[in-house]
Amino acid sequence: MTAFAEFRPVMLVTGLLVATLGFAMLLPALVDIAADNDDWMIFASAGTMTMLVGLGLFAANRGIPKGLSTRQAMLMTVASWMALVAFGALPFHWSGIVPSYTDAFFESMSGLTTTGATVITGLDYAPPGILFWRGLLQWLGGLGIIVMAIAVLPMLQIGGMQLFKAEAFDTAEKILPRATQISTSITLVFIAMTGICAVAYMAGGMAADDAIIHAMTTVATGGFSSKDGSIGHFNSAAVEWIAIVFMVLGSIPFILYVQMLQGRFKPFFRDEQVKAFMSFLGVAVLAGWMMAHFSENHIGLEGLRHAAFNVVSIVTGTGYASTDYGLWGPHAVAFFFIIMFVGGCAGSTSCGIKIFRFQVLIEGVRQHVSQVMYPNGVFRAHFNGKPIQDRVIASVMSFFFLFMASFVVLAILLRLTGLDTVSSLSGAGTALSNVGPGLGDIIGPSGNFQSLSDIQKWLLAVGMLLGRLELFTVLVLFLPRFWRS
């Protein structure tokens, strides 16, 4: 097989996804038309161009074998994500809401990776189509992440994701047809959950347009808001509790919802990952409540509400803000910095390291300690009632090492560009964990990323992509051995 022929399946899938994104651009065009805003022409132009490029790639590569090798699957994942981000940036740049393509690319990357960091100010007065496009980008990104986590990453055996490999995905050749089937079920669940969330927001007092945008970004655990003040703008306990519920629901494996619709409820209540995630959230919310209460910023039940909202928002990687938790004291800053790395469950829209990796790590340590204490004993680590293979534990440990190494390198690079230490550390952490807000006065919950330099924005965009695609998928492309036939 020639090098070009090997890339054709990658271009086929990338073209199809780019064409789909171009079609999606027509939706904010309709929103602008309904609002009598001239920006509809920008979306129509960007959508037409994006569709033409995507359909051209698709048509030029039709009729090729539908199987994908591991190398092609990795290349397809990175190439398609980069192409979608590049084209998704066009409406931001052409509308003039951001001053440069760098800012547009940053906003698009933040949207599709469901990070939620923004460079746009004046959201309260931004054109309706742009606000809808930001929400739609995160919604599409969240849906794409779920399908990728179920169909692609387990086959690639990245960072322990092989634990979730379904029988239908044992070989790369089965990815495309089976992914189509399972993604249909997940998409329907995703749409239904978004609709229910939007109705709940409207019942909580939001206007219809705000409710739809926030529903898309809540279920996708993305965090983009139509207001500069994020969810805090609404100053509503009802809105915040609704957001908490759907942020948690978005952080649970969506395949479990599909199983529940099929009448199989036991997997949901027996899943060790879900139990660990909910337990961790409970402990973290309690700790946050104590900090909010004793800082005297939010007393009693008001403190519980703000603690629950902000802890769930950061742990799930959503990144909404209802208050500046940096004012709760230096211990609170350290606390939120640590929990931003945790993340939700694998197979959800959530980001971060993921709960299951901590569980596997603990099981691996427990197995090793038992083996040291009883050298002649036979011990096996378990997850969800099944034994964990040694190579899975090694894969998870490699992920932890690579994640922390990437964090240190990114933080150092940001510091070298002139960013202060707190912003550099939290910026690196929030980008790799796809959380959104960092810490400090510049990129904290009450700030945004607009004032950063272009090089800082590009570094953070790379960090977002690394974190969203589970590190290995991107970094392996830089190995010369990867490109050898």
Task: Summarize pLDDT for 387-424 with one digit per residue, the tens.
Answer: 888 888 888 899 999 999 999 999 999 999 999 898 99
Residues forming a β-bridge with 382: 387
Handedness of CA 210, 216, 219, 220 (dihedral sign): negative
Residues forming a β-bridge with 386: 383
Q: Are 51 and 442 in contact (CB under 8 A)?
A: no
User: How many whole angstroms separate alpha carbon 55 and alpha carbon 61?
Assistant: 10
Percent of the chain with pLDDT over 90: 47
Measured CA distances, 410 to 357, 421, 448 (Å) = 22, 12, 19
User: How many whole angstroms separate alpha carbon 201 and alpha carbon 77?
Assistant: 34
Token pair of 68 as six digits: 């994908």
Q: Are 337 and 425 in contact (CB under 8 A)?
A: yes
User: How many whole angstroms separate alpha carbon 121 and alpha carbon 321?
Assistant: 15
Query: Quick count: other Cβ atoms within 10 Å of Cβ 348?
Result: 30
Q: Among residues 276, 279, 313, which one has the least CA distance to residue 114?
A: 313
Contacts of 329-336 spanning 24+ positions with Cβ under 8 A: 329/291, 329/295, 331/291, 332/288, 332/291, 332/292, 332/295, 333/422, 333/439, 335/287, 335/288, 335/291, 336/310, 336/439
User: How many whole angstroms separate alpha carbon 124 and alpha carbon 160?
Assistant: 42
- Amino acid 64: pLDDT: 59
Q: DSSP 3-state assignment of 157? A: coil
Q: Are 162 and 154 in contact (CB under 8 A)?
A: yes
In order along its 485 residues, the chain shows pLDDT tens digits of 455 566 788 888 889 899 999 999 999 999 999 999 888 999 999 999 999 999 998 888 876 555 667 788 888 889 999 999 999 999 999 999 999 999 999 999 999 999 988 999 889 899 999 999 999 999 999 888 887 777 666 666 666 666 665 433 444 444 444 556 777 888 899 999 999 999 999 999 999 999 999 999 999 999 899 998 889 889 899 999 999 999 999 999 988 898 888 888 888 888 899 999 999 999 999 999 999 888 877 888 888 999 999 999 999 989 888 888 878 888 888 899 899 999 899 888 888 899 989 998 998 888 889 888 888 888 888 887 788 888 888 888 999 999 999 999 999 999 999 998 989 999 999 999 998 888 878 887 777 898 899 999 999 999 999 998 888 888 888 888 877 75
User: How many whole angstroms separate alpha carbon 349 and alpha carbon 364?
Assistant: 26
User: How many whole angstroms separate alpha carbon 134 and alpha carbon 375?
Assistant: 56
259 Cβ neighbours under 8 A, 6+ residues apart = 265, 267, 268
- Amino acid 478: pLDDT: 85
Measured CA distances, 362 to 272, 343, 396 (Å) = 13, 16, 11
User: How many whole angstroms separate alpha carbon 400 and alpha carbon 358?
Assistant: 9
264 Cβ neighbours under 8 A, 6+ residues apart = none
Token pair of 258 as six digits: 């599909």
b/e code 289-298 from CB counts within 10 Å (16+ = b) = bebbbebebb
- What digits encode the pLDDT tens for the residues 278-313? 999 999 999 999 998 888 778 888 889 999 999 999
State the virtual CA torsion across 71, 73, 74, 78 in degrees, nearest 10: 140
What's the length of the chain?
A: 485
99 Cβ neighbours under 8 A, 6+ residues apart = none
Q: Are 172 and 68 in contact (CB under 8 A)?
A: yes
User: How many whole angstroms separate alpha carbon 440 and alpha carbon 420?
Assistant: 9
Q: Among residues 295, 324, 289, which one has the least CA distance to residue 307?
A: 289
Classify 104 in phi/psi space as left (phi over 0), alpha (psi -120 to 50) or beta.
alpha
